[in-house]
Copies of this chain bind each other. A is one copy, B any other.
Amino acid sequence: MLPRPQGVNQISVMKIGELARQTGTQVETIRYYEREGLLSEAARTDGNYRIYSEAHVERLLFIRNCRSLDMTLDEIRLLLRFKDSPAENCGAVNELLDEHIGHVAARIRQLRQLERELKELREFCRETSIAGSCGILNKLSRQSPRKESTESSVGVHVRRTHS
C-alpha cells in the first residue's frame, strides 16, 4: 500500500520511522508531540499505522529547529499558530524571539557568576589533603547560601546547570 521506504528522499508518504529518520527525531518524541498537539493527529493505514507526508517533515523540522534553539513547547505552539495563519501580523513573533534572547543572555550572566564562585571555592583546596581539613568542604559548611539573583527570582525562565 505504501511505497517502501528508501534510503534517500523523493518519498512523500511514510510511516513514523521514516519521518523520525528524516528529521533526526525519536519515534516516541513524534508521538509525544502529537499528544501535545504540536503535530495534528496523523492519518492511519488499515493496520493503524500513522502516515505522514512531506508537510509533516517540514513542520517537524520547524519544531526541532525551535527546540534546538531551546524554546519551550509553549513558545513553539505560539510560533506554529502564526505559521498557520500567514495573514496575521508577526510582531508577536519578533517579541517572543527578543524575550527568548533575553532569557538566554540572563542565563549566561548567571552561569558566569556561578563559574566565578566555583573557581573561588576551588582555591580553598589547592592541595589534596584529608577531608577533615579540606578547605572546600569547610567553606561549604560555613558560607550561607547566596540567594539566587534577582533576575532568576523574577522568573528568568532559564534552566539550571545540569542535564
- For residue A22, give the distance in angstroms from its CB to the closest CB of chain B: 10
Among the stretches A6-14, A29-37, A45-53, A139-147, the one at the interface with B is A139-147
Identical chains bound together, number: 2
Chain A interface, >50% SS class? helix
Q: Are A129 and B89 CB-contacts (below 8 A) given A97-B118, A161-B104, A162-B103?
A: yes
Q: Are B97 and A122 in contact (CB under 8 A)?
A: yes
A86 contacts the other chain (CB 8 A):
yes
Question: Assuming A101-B119, A121-B97, is B128 touching A70 (CB within 8 A)?
Answer: no
Interface string of A145-163 (1 = CB under 8 A from B): 1111000100011111111
A21 at the interface (CB under 8 A from B): no
The chain B residue sitting closest to A163, CB to CB, is B159
Residue A40 at the chain B interface, CB threshold 8 Å: no
Total residues of chain A contacting the partner, CB 8 A: 70
Q: Which residues of B contact A148 (CB under 8 A)?
A: 68
- A53 CB to closest chain B CB, in angstroms? 15
Residues of A that sit less than 8 Å from B by CB = 23-24, 58, 61-62, 64-70, 72, 79, 82-83, 85-91, 93-94, 97-98, 100-101, 103-105, 107-108, 111-112, 114-115, 117-119, 121-122, 125, 128-134, 136-137, 140-141, 143-148, 152, 156-163
